[in-house]
Amino acid sequence: MTEQRHAAGRLSWVSTYFLRLGILLAAWWILSGSNSDWWFGLPLAIVAASVSLWLTPPGRFLLRPQRIPHFAGFFLWQSLLAGWDVARRTLSPGLPLQPEILRLPLALPPGAPTWWLMLTISLLPGTLSVRLHQDRILEVHCLDSRLDVAGSVRETETQLARLFRVEMRPTGQVRSS
């Protein structure tokens, strides 16, 4: 049993390494725009994948690759909507803002799904992850608390739960700071 667990652990490290290496090589190919610079890009990607494995070992949560395009589409659509809203508010003479820090109980399990949620929220215009408390309460700064920020966070959690294939726990009420 222990040998099987170690073999599965090694397989996880190896597959994670090659996945990261593949992503880095694809990024190099896209960014360099040519096939002639592999003498520099390949060793760089090998070192970067090794360092990334050392800094962030494989976790217990795995992305479902078939869900990545759906999540990317969701993220881009939310970015467009939020960016439009921020631009509209910026150009409005009255600058209609009602900033607030909301305290949202999280439904995602600790680890990668929660970190992805915090990063996603911070990348969307008009919201920013401020702090994650030990009791799984996330503080989110928003530009306008009259909007359904909690609903947007819940939808993002749902998308991430599908991306990572994890169960969401029931949560409590949203609180304002």
Q: What is the pLDDT of residue 145?
A: 87
Residue 29 has phi, psi (to 5 degrees) of -60, -40
Q: How far is 85 from 60, CA to CA, in rounded Å?
A: 37
Q: At 79, which helix (H) or strand (E)?
A: helix 68-91
Q: What is the pLDDT of residue 3?
A: 41
What number of helices (H) and strands (E) belong to the chain?
Answer: 5, 4
Q: Walk along the chain (177 residues) in steps of 10 and give the mean pLDDT of each run.
A: 43 84 91 82 92 82 87 94 87 84 93 91 90 93 89 94 89 61
Cβ atoms 98, 144 nearer than 8 A: yes
Of 102, 108, 95, give the one whose Cα is nearest residue 127. 102
A 10 A CB-CB count for 24 gives: 19
For the chain, give every domain's residue range.
2-55, 65-176
Write out 82-149 in H/E/C secondary structure: HHHHHHHHHHCCCCCCECEEEEEECCCCCCHHHHHHHHHHHHCCCEEEEEECCCCEEEEEECECCCCH
Q: What is the pLDDT of residue 8?
A: 42
Q: What is the pLDDT of residue 173?
A: 61
Q: How far is 152 from 83, CA to CA, in rounded Å?
A: 14
Paired tokens of 47: 């070192």
